[in-house]
Amino acid sequence: MAKAPTVDDVARVAGVSRQTVSNVVNTPDIVKEATRLRVEAAIAELGYRPHAAARRLRTRRSSTIGIHLDPYAGGISGVVLDRFVHALTERAGERDMRVLLYAARTPEEEIARLGDLLEGGEVDAVVVTGTFHGDPRTGWLTERNLPFVSFGRPWGEDDVEAPAHLWVDVDGAAGTRAATAHARAQGPGRVAFLGWPGGSGTGDERERGWREAAPEGPRWIVEENVGAARDVVAAGLAAEAGVTGIVCASDSLAIGAHLAVTLAGRDDVTIVGFDNTPAAEALGLSSVEQLPERVASGALDLLMGENGTVVAPRAAVAGAAHVLVEPRLVVR
């Protein structure tokens, strides 16, 4: 196995001292531009990476990003957050950052856990997941000036021009618009929407995309449960004439819808899910792919400083405080 390049190797290739290499890595502003460019070229040529542990000792930063690990609840769509956490960990490692997972069952318990991590200097920043209207976690983090970005919008009146904090999210409305257009293209008839009760933020956004593309279709309401979705769709198909497509807020609901149309012998009904889970793929259901790897990259781009190695507080500037990832419709 080849030996990793050292600061001495960089100094030799660039024709400078070890201290100059250290200055370029840690305080580049004090180095003359010509020298800095020469050292940076040597770093790129050799693939040199500063020793993360030494940098943590020198800067007294943990170089660690905390992220909440949701309790295991079974189901189908949790794989999306798993992929996001994996991608965040992988991409953070490429920037010499670490990811620390912490568990909590409620927002209040999460705030208490964050307080312990902050007091112990264990994290430099946080990625908040599953934001909702009136989320107490984001206000708590803002008050303590701990850099953070949320996977999920602040859910304010205008999250783009008047953002409460940095955020990254998937454009759920764009996903369901594409799903509805696909269902309508399969033939004449109405396209229904199978979604959660109103007020969830994420669910409302997914419903909005469907409404914009198929305002004449019925809206069926159900909690996140395969069996309940099957029963609601069975009743809806019996009561509503002319439904030939169903756009669903999740793959769990789509699988319930699939069971209902199969039992009813309605192979003319097109079903589209949301999340593109392995379960939807196994059943041959079309679904909206959230692309959590792009979400993870967007979160780190917002959170990281310009040198790409140290977390830095970022102001929520209008129009530049968010990354909105457009999902991809996977047709099967």
Please tell us whether the domain made up of 7-50 is placed in CATH 1.10.10.
Answer: no
- Confidence class for position 285, pLDDT limits 50, 70, 90: very high
- Fold classification of 172-289 is Rossmann fold (3.40.50)
Taking only Cα atoms into account, the Rg of the chain, rounded to an integer number of angstroms, comes to 24
Residue 99 has pLDDT above 80, yes or no: yes
Verdict on whether the full-model pTM lies above 0.85: no
Residue 28 has pLDDT above 90, yes or no: no
Beta bridge partners, 127, equal: 67, 149
What is the arithmetic mean of pLDDT over 286-290? 97
The DSSP code sequence of 109-174 is HHHHHHHHHHHTT--SEEEEES--TT-HHHHHHHHTT--EEEES----S-TTTS-SS-EEEE-HHH
Show Cβ contacts of residue 316 under 8 Å, excluding neighbours closer than 6 positions: 163, 164, 165, 166
CA 325 to chain centre: 9
- Confidence class for position 197, pLDDT limits 50, 70, 90: very high
**C-alpha–C-alpha distance, residues 113 and 107, integer Å:** 10
CB of 11 closer than 8 Å to CB of 21: yes
Residue 50 confidence (pLDDT): 66
- Numbered ranges of CATH 3.40.50.2300 in the chain: 64-170+292-326, 172-289
- Numbered ranges of CATH 1.10.260 in the chain: 7-50
Residue 12 has pLDDT above 90, yes or no: yes
What is the arithmetic mean of pLDDT over 285-313? 82
Residue 57 confidence (pLDDT): 42
b/e for 167-202, b at 16 or more Cβ within 10 A? bbbbbbbbbbbbbbbbbbeeeebbbbbbbbeeebbb
pLDDT digits (tens, 9 = 90+) for 41-66: 988 888 887 655 455 444 445 578 99
CB of 66 closer than 8 Å to CB of 124: no
CATH superfamily label, 64-170+292-326: Response regulator (3.40.50.2300)
Lowest mean pLDDT among 98-102, 206-210, 247-251: 98-102
Show Cβ contacts of residue 23 under 8 Å, excluding neighbours closer than 6 positions: 30, 31
Which stretches of 15-121 are DSSP H helices? 18-26, 33-46, 52-59, 79-94, 107-119
CB of 296 closer than 8 Å to CB of 277: no
pLDDT digits (tens, 9 = 90+) for 217-262: 999 999 999 999 999 999 999 999 899 999 999 999 999 999 999 9
Residue 252 confidence (pLDDT): 95
Residue 100 confidence (pLDDT): 92
Residue 96 confidence (pLDDT): 78
**C-alpha–C-alpha distance, residues 165 and 173, integer Å:** 21
**Collapsed DSSP state (helix, strand, coil) of residue 78:** coil
